[in-house]
Structure 1
Amino acid sequence: MRQVLSGSKFWLGAAVVVLAGGALCLPSVIPAGEATEAVAATPPAATPVAVAKVEAREIVSWSEFSGRLEAVDRVEVRSRVAGQIQTVHFREGALVREGAPLFTIDPAPFQAEVERAKADVAAAEARVTLARSDVERGQKMTALATISQRDLDQRQSALRGAEASRQAAEAALRTAELNLGYTEVRAPIAGRVGKIEITPGNLVAAGPGAPVLTRLVSVDPIYASFDADERAVLAAVDTLPGEGDLPSRIDAIPVEMTTTTAGQAVRGKLQYIDPSVDPGTGSVRVRAAFANPGGRLMPGQFARLRMGQAKPEQAVLVSERAVGVDQDKKFVLVVGADDKAAYREVKLGSSTDGLKVVLSGLQPGERIVVNGLQKIRPGALVAPEPAAMDGSALNQKQASAE
């Protein structure tokens, strides 16, 4: 019993000590209500983000399309005289100037024809000379009443017949000389020559049904044809200055093209707008002309084209970094006067100078987050860091931050 009592006294004493200690500690504990008020009084930390002011500036609105390059001129080279191909003067795929020799047809038969025609001309001239002498003698004899007027008329008729025969002989000579010249098959246009279809030693016929010797396409300038949206074409045409015939004014509409061989955009001129709209697609066939002095651009090549407007217009621009994607919607975070981020849906148009055109949703003077969009949520407090609304500058800033 002593051990039990003794143990009871021990635990009783320990309980007293614990209670006493708890009593001593109670004054240092903060009430629950006061703790909640202290936490609520602490302001949330502001997230530093790059913020830019939205501005409106004059731009040329662009619409983008896909198209194909086309040669301005395309020629199927055929022989204009029949004969045997003697020589080929070009390498396949080479650039040739207008008038450069491509093929030589054996000229010997045609040279002989020229010589024969020259002989015919000489004989005709001799007959004319004789007939003219007969007329002159007849005129003198008629004056002396030695011959009748009928004889003089016959001599004059013979002279006219001889002169006509001479003209026919001269025409035959010119034809023979032309045919001799046609034995040199020359490039009708400047451009790039294609494959040799008929090799030396083969006989070729003449005329439109003759076989193709080779093909030639022009390279400078070169066309780019594309199907443009009807609204884009009408919007571009509406910005044309002045009045008058449309084909004479459309070259004021700017057109740019990029291809796999030309990394930088190439500026060209609008050359043709089809007068009708495709009812199936609602598009209009458009063609632009581009300089191609080195022949790097080739017909059939794929190209991306941008068609602008003839005069600039006011537009709101934002950096692509400032635009977020919410399913099928585009949005930006607008920073209000209280430095809180607010969700704002926007509709975007084309790109220009690395920035996106805002069709609706933003007004000039508003501030938006242009960098660090993923770090904040709508309603969050931000610490605005002024930045330019310039894609390249932001890219450099981002690179240095990383």
Structure 2
Amino acid sequence: MLLRLTLILPVVLLVACSQEAPPPRVVEVVVDEVVSEPYQPKSEFVGRLHARDDVAVQAKVTGYVQTRDFKEGETVETGQVLYTIDASEYEAALARAKAGLASAVANQANAARNFRRGKELLPQGAISQAEMDNLTAKKLEADAGIESANAQVTSAEVNLGFTTIRAPFTGRIARSAVSPGDLVGPNSGNLTTLVSIDPIEALFQVNEAAYVAAMAERLDNARGANPEDLQNVEVSLRLANGETYPEIGHIDYFSNRIDEATGTLEARALIPNSHALLVPGQYVRILLQETDLVEGLFVPQAAVQADQQGSFVLLVDGSNSVVRHNVELGARMDQQVLVKKGVEAGDRVIVRGLQQVRPGMPVSVRSLTDSSESGDNQVATEGEDA
């Protein structure tokens, strides 16, 4: 019996070895090519709107408010009267100053006549040198009196002018803190405030990494890295309700240093606001877009995956094997993603069948265009679910 088993076993092994193992199943994947296309670089920041001009209206002279000549919350024009203060006291002061000037003019005329007579009499010995010196001093004193009187008149005119308070620029005025009959003065605080509306400023902070990346991108595209060139980008606003403001603005200011506490660079954009739709203090999202087109590499969003090492895509190389490439991503444009590093134009990235493959596996390839034309999307979907 043992001899029979010894003879049969080699025969069985020989038969088993003669049967070839079945070939491994080759997974079919759908691929799309990395393409190089022109695009307009975009970036988004959070900001607040500020008035370009913002002043507190105050009284410079003391007196009772006679009139308030504006409607609270309305737009006022440059030079428009806002308040009038009782001017009777300042009109009287101006009259006194003018009278003082007239007296000084008369005194000067008399001193000038006496000085001329003295000059005629001095050579004849009719007056002494001391008397001539006295006449000279009086003339100089009278001349100085004219200057003082003129200054008094100017001061009185200025104070009288302060009794009419006018808008320094065109803008929207706030609620009035005083009413006709109130006593106001330099220590009364703000009577109201006035802010300019058109254009309006959008202030935002650019973090250091974003600023460095923008400069590096401009160098990579041979556009130069002068920060002043960034003022040529278009600025649009997205409001709190998600709507995009229709007017396009431009950047007019970058800070000359990065804030050490926050690690950000302050920037400011000017936005047209002719219809006064925007108001200071409003929260907005600020969208920056380059006016010049630059070339970039794009892959479908469906091809991008992420793990602990970061973002990556799976490629199919020339031998139809799966290869992993780590990538550095940029902005998303519709269904495409900008890739800054990790791929080249023409690379075949897997967009369907990702769940069934691993780096190093052989695959059969179908292009995304062929898959779409054949309508065989269901096979790919079922393969992913598997």
Give the CA deviation at 1:66. Answer: 1.1
Specify the alignment match of 1:225 in structure 2.
Answer: 203
Letter matched to residue 364 of structure 1: A
| CA distance, structure 2, for counterparts of residue 345 and residue 167 of structure 1 | 83
| CA distance, structure 2, for counterparts of residue 232 and residue 293 of structure 1 | 32
| CA distance, structure 2, for counterparts of residue 265 and residue 177 of structure 1 | 45
Partner deviation per Cα, 1:79-106 (whole Å, 9 max, x = no partner):
1111111111222222223332211111
Q: 1:369 to 1:249 in 2, by over 3 A?
A: closer
Partner deviation per Cα, 1:324-359 (whole Å, 9 max, x = no partner):
778998787979999999998865321357853123
Preserved contact between residue 60 and residue 309 of structure 1 (Cα < 8 Å) = yes
Quick check: 1:214 aligned with 2:205? no
Give the CA deviation at 1:225. Answer: 1.9
Bigger Rg, structure 1 or 2: 1
Quick check: 1:70 aligned with 2:29? no
Q: Which of 186, 193, 199 is residue 166 of structure 2 equivalent to?
A: 186
SS at match of 2:143: helix
Q: Which of 241, 249, 255 is residue 273 of structure 1 equivalent to?
A: 255
SS at match of 1:200: coil
Letter matched to residue 203 of structure 1: L
The percentage of counterpart residues that share the same residue type is 31
Q: Which of 128, 131, 140 is residue 151 of structure 1 equivalent to?
A: 131
Specify the alignment match of 1:236 in structure 2.
Answer: 214
Letter matched to residue 90 of structure 1: F
| CA distance, structure 1, for counterparts of residue 55 and residue 44 of structure 2 | 32
Give the CA deviation at 1:254. Answer: 5.0
Quick check: 1:91 aligned with 2:77? no
Partner deviation per Cα, 1:337-383 (whole Å, 9 max, x = no partner):
9999999886532135785312356532346799xx79x98778757
Specify the alignment match of 2:338 in structure 1.
Answer: 357
SS at match of 1:57: strand
Q: Which of 142, 149, 157 is residue 162 of structure 1 equivalent to?
A: 142
Question: 5 Å matches for 1:248-259?
Answer: 250-252=230-232, 254-259=234-239
Q: 1:250 to 1:357 in 2, by over 3 A?
A: closer
Q: 1:134 to 1:366 in 2, by over 3 A?
A: same
Specify the alignment match of 1:196 in structure 2.
Answer: 176
Letter matched to residue 249 of structure 2: R
SS at match of 2:72: coil
Q: TM-score, normalised by structure 2?
A: 0.71
Letter matched to residue 195 of structure 2: V
Preserved contact between residue 79 and residue 210 of structure 1 (Cα < 8 Å) = yes
| CA distance, structure 2, for counterparts of residue 352 and residue 97 of structure 1 | 45
Partner deviation per Cα, 1:95-124 (whole Å, 9 max, x = no partner):
223332211111221111111111110111
Specify the alignment match of 2:285 in structure 1.
Answer: 304
Preserved contact between residue 63 and residue 232 of structure 1 (Cα < 8 Å) = no
- C-alpha RMSD over aligned residues: 4.1
Specify the alignment match of 2:360 in structure 1.
Answer: none
Question: 5 Å matches for 1:114-153?
Answer: 114-153=94-133
Partner deviation per Cα, 1:230-269 (whole Å, 9 max, x = no partner):
111123245386688x6x5552455443324753473311
| CA distance, structure 1, for counterparts of residue 191 and residue 244 of structure 2 | 32
Unaligned runs of 5+ in 2: 1-26, 358-362, 373-386
| CA distance, structure 2, for counterparts of residue 106 and residue 216 of structure 1 | 23
Partner deviation per Cα, 1:370-402 (whole Å, 9 max, x = no partner):
9xx79x9877875754799xxxxxxxxxxxxxx
Preserved contact between residue 250 and residue 270 of structure 1 (Cα < 8 Å) = no
Specify the alignment match of 1:10 in structure 2.
Answer: none
| CA distance, structure 2, for counterparts of residue 84 and residue 154 of structure 1 | 49
Quick check: 1:290 aligned with 2:271? yes
Q: TM-score, normalised by structure 1?
A: 0.69
| CA distance, structure 2, for counterparts of residue 258 and residue 135 of structure 1 | 79
Partner deviation per Cα, 1:254-307 (whole Å, 9 max, x = no partner):
54433247534733114123513445x543333333333333221111111234
Preserved contact between residue 85 and residue 106 of structure 1 (Cα < 8 Å) = yes
Q: 1:165 to 1:366 in 2, by over 3 A?
A: same
Letter matched to residue 345 of structure 2: P
Preserved contact between residue 35 and residue 297 of structure 2 (Cα < 8 Å) = yes
Specify the alignment match of 2:296 in structure 1.
Answer: 315
Letter matched to residue 219 of structure 1: I
Q: 1:354 to 1:189 in 2, by over 3 A?
A: farther
| CA distance, structure 2, for counterparts of residue 127 and residue 292 of structure 1 | 60
Comparing 376-385 with 67-76, greater Cα deviation is found at 376-385
Give the CA deviation at 1:167. Answer: 1.0
Q: 1:213 to 1:163 in 2, by over 3 A?
A: same
SS at match of 1:365: coil
SS at match of 1:198: coil
Q: Which of 104, 107, 125 is residue 84 of structure 2 equivalent to?
A: 104
Q: How many residues align?
A: 336
| CA distance, structure 1, for counterparts of residue 147 and residue 68 of structure 2 | 37
Partner deviation per Cα, 1:215-238 (whole Å, 9 max, x = no partner):
112223322222222111123245
